Amino acid sequence: MTPKVSLRGVTKSFGANTVLRNLSLDVANGEVVSLIGASGSGKTTLLRCVNLLEQIDDGAVLLDGDEISAIGLDPNPVRRRVGIVFQSFNLFPHMSVARNITLALTKVLGQSPADAAAQAGDLLRRFGLAEKADVYPDQLSGGQQQRVAIIRALAMRPEVLLLDEITSALDPELVGEVLDVVRELKGSGITLLIATHEMAFAREISDRVCFLHTGTVAEIGTPSQVFSNPQDERTQQFLRRVMN
Amino acid sequence: MKQRSLRVRLIAFGAVAMLGLAACGGTDDTASSECPTISESTLTIGTGNPAYEPWVVGDAPESKEGFEAAVAYAVAAELGYNDDQVVWVRTGFDEAIQPGAKNFDFNLQQYSITEERKATVSFSDPYYSTNQALVAFADSPVANATSVSELKGLKFGAQAGTTSLEFITSVIQPDAEPFAYDDNAGAKAALEAKQIDAIVVDLPTALYISAVEIEGSKVVGQFPASDVAPGDDFGMVFDLDNPLAACVNTALAALAGNGKLAEIENEWLAAYTGAPVISLD
Amino acid sequence: MARGLHRRTGHQPRLTTRQEHERRQRRRSSFIAAASTFVVLVAVVVLVPRMPRWDRVKQSFFDVDQMRDSFPRLIDAFWLDVKIFAWTTPAIFGLALLIALARNSRSPALFPVRMLAAAYTDVMRGVPVILWIYLVGFGVPGLGIARPFNSPLLWGSVALAMTYSGYVAEVFRAGIDSVHESQRAAARSLGLSSTQTMRHVVLPQAIRRVVPPLLNDLVSLQKDVALVSLIGPIEILRQAGIDKSKFANFTPYVVAALIFLSVTIPLTRLTDYLWHRERRRTSGTRVAP
């Protein structure tokens, strides 16, 4: 089976700082893979290389076996198939919640405003935010904003969804409602790549967990393998620090 | 205005004090207390910046060349000043006729004597009389116009604050509002750019423009003096109620009487007096 | 809180200590403000007329008959200023936006465009507006353009649009730069193109942020419109000058000033209001003084 997303020998530097070193990772279609690791280990950069927000220096990124990272290729078709949710939500503050969701539907997918609005309405209802459709982002709580951000990405019906530490900027009591949304996504056929600090959640939801250390995959395996029985010294160190 | 003249006075005083000491033995019939000047033993005369022909040649009034320059020196001589006792200052056209003390004894820049201006400045008797005239391009449809009624459709331009502009708005009364400029240079530029069809200025200036300055232009005609629009009498501008004006009038009368004034007119303006008449109806 | 008392007892609610203090403060400052204003007004009204040449000044600058006489002519001429302002403003915004976008373009292929735009803003802002008015207002028509396309109104307005777009482009640029990169990241991640991102996400936020400096430039423009008078058209400043020469009185200038103020003051008040509204929305609660 061709992996859904594949990184082969990917290297990425920012100036003198090499963030990803010859990193390779395969993610199967419909799989949920969590990326854990210390800050600066390359989790965010890895995700941003998958949807081409960053251009890799070396190696290749493949989607369904096709190389998408070649220089000069139009990134937009990729971005229609790969969605991303950011740590700081990044909702458009000058648009209502509904408009945030329908903007790309109308401009990128060419849907009619009515269809787009209907789809947005359905998604908002599904995730319990129906009455917030005409509200502006600055009037929502952090958890609500992040849920809207997820819905905005989902509305495009991506095949792959990248979640970049989506609960790190939230108050603890709001984390739960966001994680609930992610739980719902699992099993819907969408491939999920989740960078997270929430170890319990990673353990609960992932098919595999990938531990990143200074830009390489130090260890990868099922949650029980990585969390209960880490093989690599660095993984053990990290988990010790994080779990206490 | 007052500040500036005070400073000028102080500087002039200092200079003249030294001059006065050095010039012991100079002419004795310089200004007496009945014909006061702003600085002793010097006649300070104002004119435009630049000063146009044929009134001043080469923007250099000290050369005594040009009608107004020549008249100024003739008057100075009558008042008892040598050529080297005459000092020139430059002012804007509008500036000199503002209320307030002046930095010159008198100013000549083709100022027409009008009742309104007499409220703020004093004038000498006229030293020249002329009419308003029209300058347009020789290939313009109105190049041979003979009456004001033919001119209604034109776009006019003139210097702001002059009797010329007033003439356009109250006598010609064209359909389109005229354009106004800070100085005649602006009006000339506009004519050359064909933004306006015609300029109104005094006759000698008009003849000079058409002869020398704007190629392809001509003086279409001059507007005769009438009750509605008296011709222009040029007078020298003085500070309000300046007693020097009376002295200058005496000088002018003398120059007119002994033919000197006519001589100067003949020398500098003979070429600039002939033009067909455009009737005012 | 003290407010609860109101519902239960029906009396006036008692104020907290802070509210009491602030109310006393307010009363005291209002009193001081009123008293000092009163003193200044009295001083002006009583002392100024006693100055030696007040009568002359009053006659020269505040002649009521002259005001009545000049006013209709000046209002008429002011209409031209308003028209010039009305058609120059959209031109400025359009041109400035193009320049700002050109300067902010990121593609390496557009380097010459970026350079041109930078040169444009440098040159336009580096030369006094008056010079541009003369150079463009007389110079361009002087090349031989036929009427009505050589009109000084047209080319004077072009000169104004050129210079002001240089300034406004910089304002737009500042606004665009102030929109966080993450907004672009989010938009592009959704599949929006560069153009779509700029148009739907970045520009609306950018423009909202720079409304106060933009309005500032507009207030400035409203007055610089009078410069078109240098190349012929008789707008309010020129008309005031003509009246001044004709009647040997400066009152027309005072009237012109008042007419200008009647338009610029509302605009500056509006700018302040929008500024405060934007601050309230984006800057969070204010710290105690």
Chain A adjacent subunits, 3+ CB pairs under 8 A: C
Q: How confident is the model at residue A71 (pLDDT cuts 50, 70, 90)?
A: confident
Interface of B with C (CB under 8 A): 94, 97-99, 116-117, 119-120, 157, 160-161, 165-166, 177-182, 186, 189-190, 192-196
B279 within a domain of the structure (yes/no): no
Residues C117 and C17 reside in one and the same domain: no
| Contact criterion met (CB < 8 Å) for C246 and B186 | no
| Contact criterion met (CB < 8 Å) for B186 and C232 | yes
What is the number of domains present in chain C? 2
Nearest CA in chain A to C194: A76
Residues C128 and C260 reside in one and the same domain: yes
Contact between residue C241 and residue B181 where contact means Cβ atoms under 8 Å apart = no
Q: Structural domain of residue C1, as residue ranges?
A: 1-38
Residues B157 and B262 reside in one and the same domain: no
| Contact criterion met (CB < 8 Å) for A84 and C208 | no
Contact between residue B215 and residue B146 where contact means Cβ atoms under 8 Å apart = no
Helix, strand, or coil (residue B90)? strand
Residues C184 and C255 reside in one and the same domain: yes
- Antiparallel, parallel or unpaired: β A17-27 and A5-14: antiparallel
Q: Structural domain of residue B181, as residue ranges?
A: 132-223
Chain C adjacent subunits, 3+ CB pairs under 8 A: A, B
> Residue C214: pLDDT above 50?
yes
Range with the poorest average pLDDT among A113-117, C14-18, C137-141: C14-18
> Residue C2: pLDDT above 60?
no
Residues B108 and B140 reside in one and the same domain: no
pLDDT of residue B25: 43
C147 CB neighbours in chain B (<8 A) are 194-195
Residues B184 and B217 reside in one and the same domain: yes
| Contact criterion met (CB < 8 Å) for C208 and A107 | no
Which two three-digit tokens encode residue A62?
């493949």
pLDDT of residue B3: 52
Interface confidence: ipTM more than 0.95: no
Residues C79 and C34 reside in one and the same domain: no
> Residue C123: pLDDT above 90?
yes
Q: What is the pLDDT of residues A14-61, one digit of tens each?
A: 999 999 999 999 999 999 999 999 988 899 999 999 999 999 999 999
Cβ-based neighbours of B277, under 8 Å, separated by 6 or more: B146, B221, B222, B223, B224
B17 within a domain of the structure (yes/no): yes
Nearest to A9 by CA among A217, A229, A240: A217
Q: What is the pLDDT of residues A78-88, one digit of tens each?
A: 999 999 999 99
Helix, strand, or coil (residue C153)? helix
> Residue C14: pLDDT above 60?
yes
Cβ-based neighbours of A225, under 8 Å, separated by 6 or more: A209
Listing DSSP states for A160-226 in one string gives EEEEESTTTTS-HHHHHHHHHHHHHHTTTT-EEEEE-S-HHHHHHH-SEEEEEETTEEEEEE-HIII
Residues C183 and C231 reside in one and the same domain: yes
Q: Which residue has the tokens 């390489």?
A: A216
Nearest CA in chain B to C142: B193
For A5-243, which CATH superfamily applies? P-loop containing nucleotide triphosphate hydrolases (3.40.50.300)
C44 within a domain of the structure (yes/no): no
| Contact criterion met (CB < 8 Å) for C193 and A76 | yes
C190 CB neighbours in chain A (<8 A) are 79, 83, 103-104, 108, 152-153, 156
Burial A173-189 (b: 16+ CB within 10 A, else e): ebbebbbebbeebbeee
- Whole-angstrom distance, CA of residue B28 vs CA of residue B39: 16
Residues B57 and B139 reside in one and the same domain: no
CATH of the domain at C260: 1.10.3720.10
Q: Residues C102-118: what's their mean pLDDT? A: 90
Q: Residues A122-141: what's their mean pLDDT? A: 92
> Residue B190: pLDDT above 70?
yes
Stretch (H or E) spanning A230: none
Q: How confident is the model at residue B28 (pLDDT cuts 50, 70, 90)?
A: very low
C244 CB neighbours in chain B (<8 A) are 161
> Residue C5: pLDDT above 50?
no
Residues B91 and B151 reside in one and the same domain: no
Q: Residues C35-64: what's their mean pLDDT? A: 86
B135 strand-pairing partners: B199, B219
Helix, strand, or coil (residue B208)? helix
For the purposes of burial, counting CB atoms within 10 Å of the CB of B20, is it exposed (0-12), middle (13-18) or buried (19 or more)?
middle
Q: What is the pLDDT of residues C237-264, one digit of tens each?
A: 999 999 988 887 889 999 999 999 998 8
Contact between residue A223 and residue A203 where contact means Cβ atoms under 8 Å apart = yes
Count CA atoms within 13 Å of residue B173 on its CB side: 7
| Contact criterion met (CB < 8 Å) for C192 and A108 | yes
C139 within a domain of the structure (yes/no): yes
Q: How confident is the model at residue B5 (pLDDT cuts 50, 70, 90)?
A: low
Q: What is the pLDDT of residues B100-159, one digit of tens each?
A: 788 999 999 999 998 888 888 999 999 999 999 999 999 999 999 999 999 999 999 999
C45 within a domain of the structure (yes/no): no
Nearest to B123 by CA among B249, B30, B13: B249
Q: How confident is the model at residue C145 (pLDDT cuts 50, 70, 90)?
A: confident
Nearest CA in chain C to B159: C232
Q: Which residue has the tokens 């001509």?
A: B218
- Number of CB pairs, chain B paired with chain C, less than 8 A apart: 68
- Whole-angstrom distance, CA of residue C123 vs CA of residue C131: 12
Compute the nearest-CA separation of A108 from chain C (Å). Answer: 6
Q: What is the pLDDT of residues A142-161, one digit of tens each?
A: 999 999 999 999 999 999 99
pLDDT of residue C11: 57
Count CA atoms within 13 Å of residue C261 on its CB side: 6
| Contact criterion met (CB < 8 Å) for C230 and B166 | no
- Whole-angstrom distance, CA of residue B123 vs CA of residue B249: 9
C152 CB neighbours in chain B (<8 A) are 179, 190, 195
> Residue B182: pLDDT above 80?
yes
pLDDT of residue B19: 52
B183 within a domain of the structure (yes/no): yes
Q: What is the reported pTM? A: 0.79
Residues C89 and C18 reside in one and the same domain: no
C111 within a domain of the structure (yes/no): yes
Which two three-digit tokens encode residue C208?
């909202």
| Contact criterion met (CB < 8 Å) for C241 and B179 | no
Range with the poorest average pLDDT among A106-110, B248-252, C215-219: C215-219
Q: Residues C220-227: what's their mean pLDDT? A: 92
- Whole-angstrom distance, CA of residue A20 vs CA of residue A57: 9
Residues C33 and C83 reside in one and the same domain: no
| Contact criterion met (CB < 8 Å) for C200 and A88 | no
What is the number of domains present in chain B? 2
C64 within a domain of the structure (yes/no): no
Q: What is the pLDDT of residues C267-280, one digit of tens each?
A: 889 888 887 887 77
**Mean pLDDT score of chain B, rounded to an integer?**
87
C202 CB neighbours in chain A (<8 A) are none
Say yes or no: C142 contacts chain B, CB-CB below 8 A. yes
| Contact criterion met (CB < 8 Å) for C192 and A84 | no
Residues C22 and C98 reside in one and the same domain: no
> Residue B79: pLDDT above 90?
yes
Q: Residues B83-92: what's their mean pLDDT? A: 94
C227 within a domain of the structure (yes/no): yes
Nearest to A81 by CA among A57, A52, A46: A52
CATH of the domain at B263: 3.40.190.10
Q: Residues C153-176: what's their mean pLDDT? A: 95
A26 strand-pairing partners: A6
B45 within a domain of the structure (yes/no): yes
Interface of C with A (CB under 8 A): 182-183, 185-193, 196, 200-201, 204-205, 208, 281
> Residue A187: pLDDT above 80?
no
Q: Is the peptide bond before C289 cis (omega within 30 degrees of 0)?
A: no
pLDDT of residue C13: 72
| Contact criterion met (CB < 8 Å) for B195 and C247 | no
Contact between residue A23 and residue A54 where contact means Cβ atoms under 8 Å apart = no
| Contact criterion met (CB < 8 Å) for A92 and C187 | yes
Q: Residues A175-188: what's their mean pLDDT? A: 87
pLDDT of residue B33: 65
Nearest CA in chain B to C228: B181
| Contact criterion met (CB < 8 Å) for A79 and C187 | no
For the purposes of burial, counting CB atoms within 10 Å of the CB of C9, is it exposed (0-12), middle (13-18) or buried (19 or more)?
exposed
Residues C29 and C80 reside in one and the same domain: no
Residues C22 and C140 reside in one and the same domain: no
Cβ-based neighbours of B22, under 8 Å, separated by 6 or more: none
Q: What is the pLDDT of residues B208-231, one digit of tens each?
A: 999 999 999 999 999 988 877 778
| Contact criterion met (CB < 8 Å) for C191 and A108 | yes
Residues B219 and B266 reside in one and the same domain: no
> Residue B31: pLDDT above 60?
no
For the purposes of burial, counting CB atoms within 10 Å of the CB of A72, is it exposed (0-12), middle (13-18) or buried (19 or more)?
exposed
Residues B136 and B208 reside in one and the same domain: yes
Amino acid at C98: L
Q: Residues B187-193: what's their mean pLDDT? A: 92
> Residue B259: pLDDT above 70?
yes
Q: How confident is the model at residue A67 (pLDDT cuts 50, 70, 90)?
A: very high
Strand order in the sheet with A208-213: A82-85, A160-164, A191-195, A32-36, A208-213, A216-221
- Whole-angstrom distance, CA of residue B181 vs CA of residue B186: 5
A92 CB neighbours in chain C (<8 A) are 183, 186-187, 201, 205
Residues C193 and C142 reside in one and the same domain: yes
Output the CA–CA distances (angstroms, integers) from residue B133 to A101, B23, C163, in the order listed.
Answer: 74, 47, 38
